[in-house]
Every structure is written in structure tokens, then in C-alpha cells.
Amino acid sequence: MTTRLRLDPTACTGHGLCADLLPELIELDEWGYPIVQPGNVPARLLPHARRARDTCPTLALRLVRVRQP
Amino acid sequence: MTGADVAGRDVAARDAAGQPSTGAARLMAGWRETGRSATAADHLERYGPLPLRGPGAGGRRGLRGGGLRARGLAEAVAEAGLTGRGGAGFPTGTKMRAVAAGGGTPVVVANGMEGEPASSKDEALLTLAPHLVLDGAVLAAAAVGAPVAHLCLSRHRPELIERVLAALADRQQAWTDPVAIEVHAVPHHYVSGEETALIRWLNGGQAKPAATPPRPHERGVRRQPTLVDNVETLAHVALIARYGPDWFRQAGRPDAPGTMLVTVSGSVTHPGVREIELGTPVGEVLARCGAAETTEAVLVGGYFGSWHDAGSIAGVPITAGDLRRLGASPGAGALVALPAGACGLNETARVLAYLAGQSAGQCGPCMFGLASIAEDFALLAAGRPGGALFGRLERRLGVVKGRGACGHPDGAVRLAASALATFSADASAHARHMPCAAARRDHPGPPVLPVPRRLAEEEWQ
């Protein structure tokens, strides 16, 4: 089991807090909306990823457990 | 007929006069013979009752030649190799199986929204052979165990809705369908025909796409497994139910069986809707419609499609696989031949502005990204690009792609990228502040690609 970030683009309104909290995996585009790096969240970044998820004002960011490596 | 010119009867006559016959008239066969919309009586005479047995079924005469029980229909459709004719091209049988296996009380949605401005094939089909579509909806519903089929039409085609309601009334006089059919007038936007948008609207919400998962076949109308199929797809289902998968495969190619409706416009003498066998080369379809020899570029697949040099696309067969190699897709079957003297960049700029305005406004990259891309294209078309335009545009096209809930931004990006590639010489000329005559404000050529007016925000409900 690994963990991935999943963004609901219809919920996201571009507050941009996630990119501050998890710059390793999330950057903002020129309009202030997050570009999420695809792939697994490395274990060392999991606490930061959870903070990013919990801080999102619109609950647009989720952490999902996936079975494949 | 309004808005949906159908070319082909003249061609049928030409075929009889010695031209090679296309042999492709299936959905349009009745119309080719009679030249008018099929009434319920016409339909019954040509196709017989629904090939369906059971209480309340119309087929009291039982199975007809090669007809299939409803339960086996998903298997027959899978064996026939039918793929969706609305644009996505997903295997229809696979979807039917998933909905049938999903439990609960399934729902069928027949999608006749046709939001693509370059397409009028669904309107033509619903006008000329409405009972094939209605049969398909009823048979698909019976096959997956749905008690009701919802037929979704654009609110901005009141005449079509009237015609379909009249056909439904005519049908109900003639026989009793085992499934209820409800006709809906749905807000008309480019994206409101997207399947998740129809489901949201049928559930009482706005006709805007929703993020997936869940997919409609998992949880759709009233949270039940929902089969959403384009109306043309359902018309093919009605024929497969009667004549079987082997018959269906007699047209087209083994890897791309059957026929499809296409809408051809632009620099052709006979624009309109035609039925072709899958695998027919693009150039042959255009030639049948009287394409001008001076045609330099072709838009394949509508406004989510791609531009191609006319010479290099002419020999390419119209199948998903063959077109994919050129980064193209049949989409909903819209082909536009760009007339000599028209500016592909200018046409694309107008369409991109339209598509940007058609964003449902839900996803930031679509809402802001498409508007920025459309602005860049407008500058390029006008010959005022500035030094950084190409780099900025390339970056924006890359950044926006794949970041919407639906395919809207990706479709617009594909159109824009293909225009830059196909009209690269024009783009360089425009970048040197030399817009072609067609793009100059003092010499605006007649627009080739139609761009409908934008609707007010409240009209999503």
C-alpha cells in the first residue's frame, strides 16, 4: 500500500496553502492553482502531506491509499 | 428539417448512376428510400416490433430473424464491437455489462445534447429515424434492468424536442414499450452533454460536469448504476438487437466495425450529415461531399479535435486507432474543410474564445487557463504576438492539460496545439506582424467554424 495525493479540481479555489506546506510535491501555476506531482507520497513527506490536506479550506485535497507499489 | 441538412439522397442517386455504392446506409436507410422522417408505422414495417420477449413487451410476434433476447443484448453489443458514437468511443457492451452487474435499480440516459457546434448528426438522426433511437433506449434499458430511460435534448432546440415528443406520441399509439421514456430539455452548453453533467442535472443540480470517481456506471441518477449512451450509439444497439453482431460487423473493419454518422462542413459543395463505414479515408468522405481541391487543412473531430494538413490526412481511415497515430480522434464525427483563403489561426482563435467562455467555471486551470490561451491566440491571429508569446503559449498548453474534472480543457488544448503545428508557417508570418488577409480586421473573411452565442449564467439549471 502506498499513498497518493488526489485533488478535486472542482472543489479547489486556489487558496494555495498546500503549496506552502508541501512545496516538494505541489507548486502553483500562474493563476494560483496547485499542480500536484503524480506518483506516491514518500514516507518522509507524509506528515507534511497530511497537514496540507487538513489545512485546505475547501477540503479539495485528499490522501488516498492505493494498492499498487 | 432545421439546422441538420442531410446530404446523401443525391449521392444515393449518383450511386445508382454508376458511382461505387457506399453500402453504408443503415441508420439512414429508411430515409434514403422514403425521403421523409420515419413514422411509427414506417418503422414497424421496416424493422418489425422490438426484438424482446416478456410481459408488456412490444414483440408479441417474438424473435425475428437473428433477433436477441434482451438479456443477451450486452453480450451481443460487446461481440459486435460497437463503440460510443458521442466522442469518447468507449466500448458500449462493456458499459452495459457494468451497469447490469451493478445492482440496485439501473437507469438509462440517452444523450442527444450534441453541444458540438460543428456536428448536427444527432439532430438529423432524431429527426429522420427517431424510433431507432427510442428502440435502442428501450432495449438497452430492458437489457440492464432499468425501468426508465431519460432522453436528454438541448433546451435550445425546441423544434427538435417537439418532433421527438410527437414521435413518442405516435409510437405510444402504435404499441406499448416495456420501459418508460422521459424527454428532458437540458441547458445548452458545450460541456452540459458530458455524462456527469447530465446526471447532476437529472438529480436536480446544474448541468455541469462532476469530478469522477464515482463513474456513472457505479453511481449515477438517484445514485443508481447509470448507462449514458449517445443517441446514435443506441440506434446501432437497436439494429444489433435485431440483426446480431455478425451483421453489424459486415460494415467497417474487424478492428473498427459498423457505420457512423459524420457531419461535414466548410469548403464542400454538399455539406451535411452522412453515414459512412468506419475505415473510410478522410479524403474519400470529403470528396463525396464535394470538397474543394484547394482545401488546405481539415479539422477532424470537432472543437475538441485537431487540425491536419489536408494532404497528409486524406488517406487516413476514420477509425480511432488510425487517427490516434496522428494525435487525432473521430470524436462525434465532425469534419470541417478549411477553405483556401481562410485563416486557420483566426478560426482557431475564435473557437478557443468560445470554448473558454463555455468553461463551467468550476476548475481553476480551465476557467483561467483557457481564457489566457484564447487571449494568446487572439494576439497571434491579429499579428500582435510580442516576443514571449510562443514560449508562454507552449507552457500554458502543457500546464492546463489534464487538470479539469472533465475533458474540456484537454480538448481545447488539443485544438490549440494542433493549430500551432498545422499552421506553423502562418504562425511564423503572423509573429512577424504579417497576419494573413483573412485575419486582418479590415478584411475579415466569412467565419468557417460556427460559434454560438454565450448563455447567461443562470441557464445552467
Residues of A with CB below 8 A from B364's CB?
9, 12-14, 29, 31-33
Q: For residue B358, give the DSSP letter.
A: T
As beta bridge partners, residue A14 has none
Q: Any bridge partners for residue B252, and if so which? A: B257
Q: What does the pLDDT look like over B268-293, one tens digit per residue?
A: 999 999 999 999 999 999 999 999 88
**Is residue B129 over pLDDT 90?**
yes
Specify the pLDDT at position B386. 79
Q: Say if B282 falls within a structural domain.
A: no
Q: Would you call B399 and A35 a contact, using CB atoms and an 8 Å cutoff?
A: yes
Locate the chain A residue with the closest alpha carbon to B209: A10
B167 touches chain A (CB under 8 A): no
Domain boundary among B200, B220, B253: B253
Reduced DSSP (H G I as helix, E B as strand, rest coil) percent helix, strand, coil of chain B, to 5? 45, 15, 40
State the total domains in chain B: 2
Decide if B364 and A14 are in contact by the 8 Å CB cutoff. Answer: yes
The whole-angstrom distance between B11's CA and the closest CA on chain A is 48
Assign B69 a pLDDT band (cuts: 50, 70, 90): low
Of B365, B368, B372, the CB nearest to A9: B365
Q: What percent of chain B has pLDDT over 70?
A: 88
* Angle at the Cα of B450 from the Cα atoms of B439 and B434, rounded to 5 degrees: 10
- Beta bridge partners, B230, equal B111
CB proximity B156 to A under 8 Å: no
Mean pLDDT for the stretch of residues B394-421: 96
pLDDT in tens, B102-127: 889 999 999 999 999 999 999 999 99
Helix axis angle, B424-431 to B344-357, nearest 10°: 90
Give yes or no: residues B367 and B249 share one domain. Answer: no
Mutate to test the interface with B, among A10, A13, A35, A36 (most CBs of B within 10 A): A10
- Choice among B224-228, B376-380, B429-433 with the minimum mean pLDDT: B429-433
For chain A, list residues whose CB is within 8 angstroms of any CB belonging to chain B: 8-14, 29-33, 35
Band the pLDDT of B14: cuts 50, 70, 90: very low
What is the distance between the alpha carbons of residues B400 and B370, in angstroms, rounded to a whole number? 8
Q: Are B76 and B241 in contact (CB under 8 A)?
A: yes
CATH number for position B211: 3.40.50.11540
pLDDT, tens digit, for every residue of B158-172? Answer: 999 999 999 999 999
pLDDT of B460 = 87
Q: Let me know if residue B407 belongs to a domain.
A: yes
- What pTM was computed for the model? 0.90
In a domain, B204, yes or no: yes
Q: Taking residues B3-10, report their average pLDDT.
A: 48
Going by pLDDT thresholds of 50, 70 and 90, the confidence category of residue A67 is: confident
Contact at CB, A13 and B210, closer than 8 angstroms = no
All three cell numbers of B374? 484564447
Answer whether residue B307 is part of any domain: no
Quick check: B388 contacting A, CB < 8 Å? Answer: no
| Cell numbers describing residue B282 | 478522410
Range of the domain at B358: 344-444
Encode A2-19 in three state secondary structure: EEEEEECCCCCCCCCHHH
Q: For B296-314, how does the pLDDT look when each residue is reduced to its tens digit (9 = 90+)?
A: 999 999 999 999 999 999 9
Domain boundary residue among B200, B225, B253?
A: B253
Residue B452: asked if its preceding bond is cis (omega within 30°), the reply is no
Q: Which residues of B touch A11 (CB under 8 A)?
A: 211
Q: Which residues of A touch B213 (CB under 8 A)?
A: none
B246 and B355 in a single domain? The answer is no
The reply to whether ipTM tops 0.90 is: yes
Q: Are the Cβ atoms of B403 and A33 closer than 8 angstroms?
A: yes
Residues of B in contact with A13 (CB under 8 A): 364
- Arithmetic mean of pLDDT over chain B: 88
Indicate whether B148 and B247 sit together in one domain.
yes
Query: What's chain A's average pLDDT?
Result: 94
> What average pLDDT does this structure show over B203-223?
92
Section B83-96 average pLDDT: 95
Q: Is B283 part of any domain?
A: no
At A7 the pLDDT is 95
Residue range A32-54, pLDDT digits in tens: 999 999 999 999 999 999 999 99
Of B391-405, B413-427, B439-453, the poorest mean pLDDT is in B439-453
pLDDT at B198 over 60: yes
Say yes or no for a CB contact (<8 Å) between B403 and A9.
Answer: yes
Q: What is the pLDDT of residue B172?
A: 95
pLDDT of residue B16: 37
**Which pLDDT belongs to residue B15?**
39
Query: What confidence tier does B432 reach under pLDDT thresholds 50, 70, 90?
Result: confident
B330 is a domain residue: no
Which residue in A11, A12, A31 is closest to B369 by CB distance? Answer: A31
Quote the pLDDT of residue B444. Answer: 58
pLDDT the model gives residue B68: 47
Out of A9, A29, A31, name the one closest to residue B405 (CB).
Answer: A9
Task: Say which residues have a Cβ less than 8 Å from residue B331's Cβ, sequence separation at least 6.
Answer: B87, B116, B300, B301, B302, B304, B305
Q: Which CATH architecture has domain A2-66?
A: 2-Layer Sandwich (3.30)
pLDDT score for B77: 96
Instruction: For residues B126-153, give the mean pLDDT.
Output: 97
For the domain that residue B410 is a member of, what is the CATH number? 1.20.1440.230
Q: Which residues of chain A does B372 touch, with a Cβ-Cβ cutoff of 8 Å? A: 30-31
Domain boundary among B223, B253, B283: B253
B370's CB contacts (< 8 A; 6+ apart) are: B352, B355, B356, B359, B400, B408, B409, B412
Binned at pLDDT 50, 70 and 90, residue B456 comes out as low
Domain ranges of chain A: 2-66
| Best of B194, B200, B363, B373 to mutate (most A CBs within 10 Å, chain A) | B363
